[in-house]
Amino acid sequence: MIITGLFLIGIGFLVKAFPNLIAGYNTMSQKQKDNVDVEGLSTFMRNGLVLMGMVVIIGYHGLKWAGQDVLLGYFIPGVILIGVFFLVFRAKKFDQNEGGLVKSKLKSVFTIVILVFALGSVGYGLIPSSYELNDDRVTFSGMYGTEIVISKIETVSLINKMPSVKARTNGLGFGPIRKGFFRIEGQGKCRLLLHSYHGPFVMISTKDQEVVYVNFKKKEKTEMVYNKLKALKEK
């Protein structure tokens, strides 16, 4: 999430420094370029992209602080979609060419950017989660990853079969890979970091009433995580 924000900010400054990076403007004839307020357009694009990047970074930390992880999956795509819409349709005022050449080109380019971002998000979600354990916490990285303080763990169990998954509230479901927040029968909303249909599964419940289910493709890896967590909790 932070990388996405920094990427948008970086692109904003690049566009300002090198206006020829702006789609549509770079393919114009010199006569057409003379009809574009390139100084105003590049400044507008920079300010818009930098603002989008800052909103992504600040909003991400704000939602994490507020414990609203469920909204994170909607927040960044929403910011980008709204920002792109605004940039595309406001760019026209800097272009006096008939037909708005900059605007029409920007529409095509930003449509591609949105598709790439969407596909990239799915690709990122398919990357197997990794974990890191130390004396006071366990961290599961990757999409919908989480950090759990060992002292806040109420119970940690190894189960062979998952309870019935009723619905996905905010997450990725692609074959055996299920990551994010799902409604589980008898437990309500739980965080899943699952990579296989088959058990075993590590079930972690915390004193904050969060329930996390984790498993990996290799049974031995799942069992190893369970054994290490259990040993740390019993210290």
Q: Where are the domains of the chain?
A: 2-126, 131-233
φ/ψ (deg, to 5) at 212: -125, 130
Which pLDDT does position 218 carry in this prediction?
92
Which pLDDT does position 14 carry in this prediction?
87
Instruction: Kindly give, in sequence order, each residue whose CB lies less than 8 Å from that of residue 224, ignoring residues fewer than 6 positions away.
Output: none
More confident residue, 202 or 144: 202
Which pLDDT does position 227 carry in this prediction?
93
More confident residue, 56 or 194: 194
Tell whether the model's pLDDT for residue 175 goes beyond 80: yes
Question: pLDDT band at residue 63, thresholds of 50, 70 and 90?
Answer: confident
Tell whether the model's pLDDT for residue 25 goes beyond 70: no
Question: pLDDT band at residue 22, thresholds of 50, 70 and 90?
Answer: confident
Question: pLDDT band at residue 1, thresholds of 50, 70 and 90?
Answer: low
Which pLDDT does position 162 carry in this prediction?
92
φ/ψ (deg, to 5) at 193: -135, 75
Q: What share of the chain in percent tops pLDDT 90?
A: 24
| Mean pLDDT, rounded, of the chain | 81
More confident residue, 142 or 222: 222
Q: For residue 200, is the peptide bond before it cis, meaning its omega torsion is within 30 degrees of 0?
A: yes
More confident residue, 105 or 200: 200
pLDDT mean over 144-169: 90
The CA angle 51-56-57, to the nearest 5 degrees, is 100
| Pairing of the two strands 188-194 and 211-214 | parallel
Q: Which of 95-104, 126-135, 146-155 has the highest mean pLDDT?
A: 146-155
Question: What are 73-106's pLDDT values in tens digits?
Answer: 667 777 877 887 788 777 778 877 766 555 555 5
pLDDT mean over 112-138: 72
The pTM of the full predicted model, rounded to 2 decimals, is 0.58
How long is the chain?
Answer: 235
